[in-house]
């Protein structure tokens, strides 16, 4: 049975910061951010958008009433959870009007959580062919003002509908995994921001890619020439390239140039959004599908998922005939184009708002945010 991605869409919050403005404010050469790190813009989530509202906005874009009736499970990947107990997934039941007779769970392993969700969804559909699973990746990536990680922040959510006979991508059986207990990036319960060893995290990312790609290549007798494109987890748009380059260098020039060009296309959206943690790999995939004119049905796509701490996976899929008819290109491009640009001062104010958000009752209903679903306030420690 073919199982995979039937629909995929993302949401980004309505505010954006220009990386050149941030560089000037931080007294850094702008080219470090725009070329060295490879980010042009950074999505900024206002207090009216949390992982739940962003997820509901992304899912609302792709789900029809028929899909909603067929969904029997919601798997919510995030590493910026809003609750230690209640899952973010169960909010989808009410916000999207899903049946009560469904399973709702939140999954965590840093940026890998949504890939875990996708593989579990696929296994579930294999056992229950009529079922559809809603997979969510939703995060607000924050490292703190003036921190080393500041230029690699971002926010957004991806919604993926997993089903049999999918319209976009069939996911293959073959996969390669690698887990190792390393401290490159982590967030203890009492920390508002992650602890990160930036340089070490880059090295681990590259080590994990080499581990899973070489294992996949050797066990399944595969080679890069089998692939139309490879998508990477993108904490910033240059990271995947650092891991990919040594392997591209071993290939013939034409193949290497083609994969490199498609890598750049897959980073087009992320460059304007920043790190979406669990969603970054999938925003990259959407960027590839919506901006590359040369892909065709049955093309093989590789995916490298990395979650610090760390888990890596290399998995693959094949594009489905007429996949381009099932994309949400106009919606995505309108979301990106219509964001309100912030000054650095406004961004810092929003950032401080978020930090203060924790305990007391608050009312955000007068805040400007035209998104379909917004966080309107907090009352008795309940999110409204």
Residues in binding site for substrate: 148
Residues 183 and 191: their CA atoms lie apart, in Å, by: 15
Residue 111, classed as helix, strand or coil, is strand
* Nearest approach, Cβ of residue 117 and ligand HMG (Å): 15
Rounded-to-10 torsion of CA 338, 343, 345, 349? 0
Residue 352 C-beta: closest distance to ligand HMG, Å = 21
As a dihedral over the C-alpha atoms of residue 271, residue 275, residue 281, residue 283, rounded to 10 degrees, the angle is: -50
Determine the Cα–Cα distance for residues 119 and 108; give it in Å rounded to an integer. Answer: 14
Q: Which of residues 338-377 bind ligand HMG (CB under 6 A)?
A: none
The reply on whether position 202 binds ligand HMG by CB under 6 A is: yes
Q: Is 35 in the site for ligand HMG (CB under 6 A)?
A: yes
Gyration radius of the chain's alpha carbons: 20
Instruction: Give 151 or 156: the residue with its C-beta nearer to ligand HMG.
Output: 151
Q: Which is nearer to ligand HMG, 147 or 291 (CB)?
A: 147
The kind and range of the H/E element at 41 are strand 41-44
Of 109, 124, 167, 233, catalytic: 233
Minimum separation from the CB atom of position 128 to ligand HMG (A): 30
Give the nearer residue to ligand HMG in terms of CB position, either 61 or 234. Answer: 234
Q: Which of 4, 96, 1, 108 is nearest to 320 (CA)?
A: 4
Looking at 79, 104, 106, 124, which residue is catalytic? 79
Comparison of 73 and 243: residue with beta carbon closer to ligand HMG: 243
CB of residue 87 to ligand HMG, shortest distance in Å: 18
Residue 225 burial class via C-beta count within 10 angstroms: exposed 0-12, middle 13-18, buried 19 and up: exposed
Does residue 46 touch ligand HMG according to CB under 6 A?
no
Chain positions contacting ligand HMG, by CB under 6 A: 29, 31-32, 35-37, 79, 110-111, 148-149, 151-152, 184-185, 196, 198-199, 201-202, 205, 233, 235-236, 239, 275, 277, 306-308
């Amino acid at each position: 049975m073919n199982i995979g991605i039937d629909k995929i869409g993302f949401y980004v919050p309505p505010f954006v910061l220009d990386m050149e403005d941030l560089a000037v404010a931080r007294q850094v050469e702008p080219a470090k951010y725009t070329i060295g790190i490879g980010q042009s813009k950074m999505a900024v989530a206002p207090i009216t958008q949390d992982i739940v509202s962003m997820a509901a906005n992304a899912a609302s874009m792709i789900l029809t009433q028929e899909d909603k009736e067929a969904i029997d499970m919601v798997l919510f990947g995030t590493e910026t959870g809003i609750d230690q107990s209640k899952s973010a997934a169960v909010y989808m039941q009410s916000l999207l009007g899903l049946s009560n007779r469904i399973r709702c769970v939140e999954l965590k392993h840093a940026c890998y959580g949504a890939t875990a969700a996708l593989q579990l969804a696929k296994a579930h559909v294999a056992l229950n062919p009529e079922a559809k699973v809603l997979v969510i990746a939703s995060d607000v990536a924050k490292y703190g003002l003036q921190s080393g990680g500041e230029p690699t922040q971002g926010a957004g959510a991806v919604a993926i509908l997993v089903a049999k006979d999918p319209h976009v991508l069939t996911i293959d059986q073959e996969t390669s995994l690698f887990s190792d207990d390393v401290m490159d990036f982590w967030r203890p319960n009492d920390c508002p921001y992650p602890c990160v060893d930036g340089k070490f995290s880059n090295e681990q990312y590259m080590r994990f890619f080499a581990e899973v790609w070489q294992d996949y290549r050797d066990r399944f007798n595969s080679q890069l020439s089998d692939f139309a494109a490879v998508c990477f987890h993108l904490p910033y748009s240059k990271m995947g390239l650092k891991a990919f380059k040594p392997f591209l260098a071993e290939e013939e020039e034409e193949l290497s140039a083609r994969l490199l060009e498609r890598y750049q296309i897959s980073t087009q959206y992320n460059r304007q959004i920043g790190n979406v943690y669990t969603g970054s790999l999938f925003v990259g995939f959407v960027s590839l599908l919506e901006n590359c004119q040369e892909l065709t049905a049955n093309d093989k796509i590789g995916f490298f998922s990395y979650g610090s701490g760390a888990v890596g996976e290399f998995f693959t899929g094949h594009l489905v005939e007429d996949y381009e008819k099932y994309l949400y290109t106009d919606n995505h491009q309108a979301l990106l184009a219509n964001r309100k640009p912030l000054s650095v001062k406004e961004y810092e104010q929003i950032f401080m708002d978020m930090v203060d958000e924790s305990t007391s009752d608050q009312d955000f209903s007068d805040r400007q945010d035209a998104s379909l679903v917004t966080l309107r306030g907090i009352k008795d420690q309940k999110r409204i």
